[in-house]
Amino acid sequence: MKLQILHTNDIHSHFEKLPMIRTCIRQNQKENTLVLDGGDFHDMRSLTLLGSDAKAGSLFLKACGYDAMTLGNNDLWSGEGNFENIIQNEDVNVLSCNIDYYPSREIPLKKSIMKRFEDVKVCIIGVSVGKDSYNSFSHLYGLHVKDPLVCIREEMESNEADIYILLSHMGIEQDREIAQKLPVDIIIGGHSHTLMERCEYINGTYIHQAKEYGEHVGECLIDIENKKIRSVVSKNYDTKDYPADEEVKQLIASEEKKALEILNRPFAVLPFEMSHDWIKEDDLTNFIADASLKVMPADLAIANSGLCLHGLDQEVSKADVFDAAPSPLNISRAYLTGEKILEALKLSLDPAYCLHEERTCGFRGKKIGHLAVSKNVEVIIKKDEIEVFLDGKRLNKQKKYLVSANDFLFRGSGYPPLFSEDHLEFDKLMIKDVIIQYLSDKKLVLESKSRRFKKFDYGRDLDENKMQGM
């Protein structure tokens, strides 16, 4: 018997690729076929998802003919209400064996499903991100990630099958570890965005992954004899080689239109247009820094202008904010020494450095951008150095300061001196949520115009010295 698996992973809401994916599936699927997704199908950068409370994703999965998907970290952290809509998909099986609600209570989520092809029983098990460190974020959203090895083993022991397929969003390295430790037959992976021309064979387990963004559809052709796998041949189809399916294309357009009708409604009118700039101080990044200090009180706040792609007009809708600040990055707080803060601010004064492009987890910006500081900070720029004053007092290089920023910066992304795990805490509010929540604070909006970076006036300093000498 032949069993075919067609699969994608890490689509990250690149829904424009779905019409080609649907055509690829339709043209290549065989008699016994499973269509699977390895997680991060949903990414809340999508206005269509944001305007539909993520319900549109379920419609798209069904229209493309998927049988099952597992939950990636972006699916998990899609936000209250959105997550429930993702897992309550009546047409496509959403699987994960290692996710519970937090504090501990069982989640209405399938751990696995059984499929029968002729006389062969196939068990498909879903598993999500496996590192315990992900619980720092997961707990913010009322979710808990359990040990994947333990959970996969339990699911295999409680479901007798001839073939076990693991639908994994743990990344290629952890998939290889699973292959060494558990008798899984096939792992269809995700999370590491790996393009595998041919499946890897490790300790009796075949592993395959199809990179990202709907650019490829992976295929595993499985030859089964006496209910055992005899061989697996794999390849990838390039979706740009396939014409768009018109039905799926129209469905996506229709759902986008409905979402935008909701999101384009203005919710705030500002006294001025909020500027944005990659290199020099701007209104919107100042506002984010000040608002961050409101969300997570600290000694000071820092934000990078790369969080946003553009500024805001006077009349603002949610669509405007989501388009300006697409990155799913959370307000965070940690301790940094004055010396590290100074190092980062000095880097920020170099235009070439600010224009550096960054690609890392959760960052949907184009450039890292300059750094902004909260209004209680004053940065005096001299020829070869800077002086920083916090609440009127000079920043102490040796002292530790509690800083409110975002998880991108505390990972050391863009600005390595800002890396910190010292009492690191996260808030469930993302940058876009903070902008929406605090645009109604007129005082905060007006204060975004106050400039915190000032060039040292040598002429004034000379005049003051002359006066002191008289």
Looking up residue 40, the CATH number of its domain turns out to be: 3.60.21.10
Same domain for 394 and 364? yes
- Domain boundary at 193, 228, 259, which? 259
In this prediction, residue 45 carries a pLDDT of 87
User: Which of 186, 179, 165, 215 has its CA nearest to residue 10?
Assistant: 215
In this prediction, residue 469 carries a pLDDT of 40
CA distance 152 to 42: 23
For 248, the token pair is 């799926």
In this prediction, residue 465 carries a pLDDT of 42
Distance in angstroms between the alpha carbons of the first and the last residue of the chain: 100
CA distance 84 to 75: 10
| Beta bridge partner(s), residue 377 | 390
Query: Strand 163-168 to strand 120-127: parallel, antiparallel, or no bridges (unpaired)?
Result: parallel
DSSP track, 306-328 = GG-SS-B-SEEEHHHHHHH----
CA distance 188 to 67: 14
pTM above 0.85, yes or no: yes
Same domain for 317 and 199? no
In this prediction, residue 466 carries a pLDDT of 35
CA distance 210 to 160: 28
Contact 182, 164 (CB under 8 A): no
CA distance 172 to 243: 31
3-state secondary structure of 367: strand
- Residue identified by tokens 């690729």 is 17
For 210, the token pair is 């199809």
E strand segments, 209-258: 216-225, 228-238
Residue 468 located in a structural domain: no
Would you state the torsion angle of the CA atoms of residues 420, 422, 426, 431, taken in this order, to the nearest 10 degrees?
-30
In this prediction, residue 139 carries a pLDDT of 87
Same domain for 276 and 246? no
Helices (H), 125-277: 135-138, 148-158, 172-181, 246-263
Same domain for 306 and 179? no
CA distance 458 to 213: 53
Domain that holds residue 97: 2-259
CA distance 310 to 328: 16
Residue 278 located in a structural domain: yes
Mean pLDDT, contiguous 10-residue spans, the chain (470 residues): 97 97 97 97 94 96 98 89 92 95 82 96 94 79 92 96 98 96 98 95 97 98 96 97 98 97 96 97 98 98 96 97 92 97 96 90 87 98 91 97 96 95 93 95 97 79 41
Q: How many domains does the chain have?
A: 2
- Domain boundary at 230, 259, 288, which? 259
In this prediction, residue 461 carries a pLDDT of 52
| Beta bridge partner(s), residue 127 | 168
CATH number, domain with residue 437: 3.90.780.10
Q: To 10 degrees, what angle do helices 246-263 and 55-64 make?
A: 180
Here the contacts of 53-57 (C-beta below 8 Å, separation 24 or greater) are: 53/81, 53/82, 53/85, 54/78, 54/81, 54/82, 54/83, 54/85, 54/86, 55/85, 56/255, 56/259, 57/13, 57/86
Contact 376, 451 (CB under 8 A): no
